[in-house]
């Protein structure tokens, strides 16, 4: 247990894409000892993610796109299969995920349900991710999706059977944490 946390110094190391800060802080341990440490924290803003599902067809909508960090860390193609997601920017989480859903997947969903929120990498990244699920049907498809042109996104929209998505976690074809969490949520809740 720590207490009496004091931020002593904050330096911006980079603000090229998002913001990387070096923070010097002090805290008091349970035994009363005062410790000073330095850590780096990457601030990319908060985000939202959603998994679209169809109970009748037993399908989900996922996306596939290139992710440079995975490419540099052993993913030979750099391609990742993921749930739709995006940064909040100035929006609240629900408005953000509705916008991202239409841009990335081409679906305009009616009812979105927030299921939880989580820090995805709390040791180094400040981001809180808001998790949503929503039912979809064919009549909600208004465009091909693929992402926003001004963001130079190149997103492939995938519709697959839920059981196939579960199997892809086992085989390692799906390695994205937010996607695994949402697929497991649907299973645990008995939605699919």
Give the distance from CA 22 to its chain's centroid: 24
**Which of 83, 140, 87 lies closest to 111, judged by CA?**
140
Considering the domain architecture, whether residues 74 and 163 belong to the same structural domain is answered as yes
Confirm whether pTM is higher than 0.85: yes
Verify that 140 and 94 share a domain, yes or no: yes
Express each pLDDT in 51-101 by its tens digit. Answer: 999 999 999 999 999 999 999 999 999 999 999 999 998 889 999 999 999
Give me the helices (H) in 109-188, please: 162-171, 177-188
On whether both 125 and 65 belong to a single domain, the answer is yes
Report the domain count for the chain.
2
Beta strand 34-43 with 128-135 is unpaired
- The model's pLDDT over 102-121, given as tens digits with 9 standing for 90+, comes to 999 999 998 999 999 999 99
Confidence band, pLDDT 50/70/90 cuts, at residue 147: confident
Structure tokens at 143: 């465009």
- If asked whether residues 87 and 33 sit together in one domain, one would say no
In which domain, by residue range, is 137 found?
47-188
Q: What angle, 0 to 180 degrees and rounded to 10, lies between the N-to-C axes of helices 162-171 and 177-188?
A: 130
């Amino acid at each position: 247990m720590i207490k009496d946390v004091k931020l002593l110094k904050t330096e911006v190391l980079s603000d090229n894409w998002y913001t990387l800060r070096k923070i010097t802080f002090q805290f008091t341990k349970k035994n009363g000892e005062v410790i000073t440490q330095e850590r780096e924290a990457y601030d990319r803003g908060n985000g939202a993610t959603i998994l679209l599902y169809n109970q009748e067809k037993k399908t989900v909508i996922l996306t596939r796109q290139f992710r440079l960090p995975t490419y540099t860390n052993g993913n030979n193609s750099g391609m990742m299969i993921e749930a739709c997601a995006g940064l909040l920017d100035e929006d609240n989480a629900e408005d953000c995920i509705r916008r991202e859903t239409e841009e990335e997947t081409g679906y305009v969903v009616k009812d979105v349900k927030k299921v939880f929120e989580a820090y995805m990498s709390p040791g180094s990244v400040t981001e809180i991710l808001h998790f949503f699920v929503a039912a979809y049907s064919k009549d909600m498809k208004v465009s091909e999706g693929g992402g926003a042109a001004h963001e130079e996104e190149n997103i492939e929209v995938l519709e697959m059977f839920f059981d196939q998505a579960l199997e892809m976690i086992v085989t390692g074809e799906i390695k994205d944490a937010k996607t695994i969490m949402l697929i497991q949520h649907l299973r645990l809740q008995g939605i699919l």
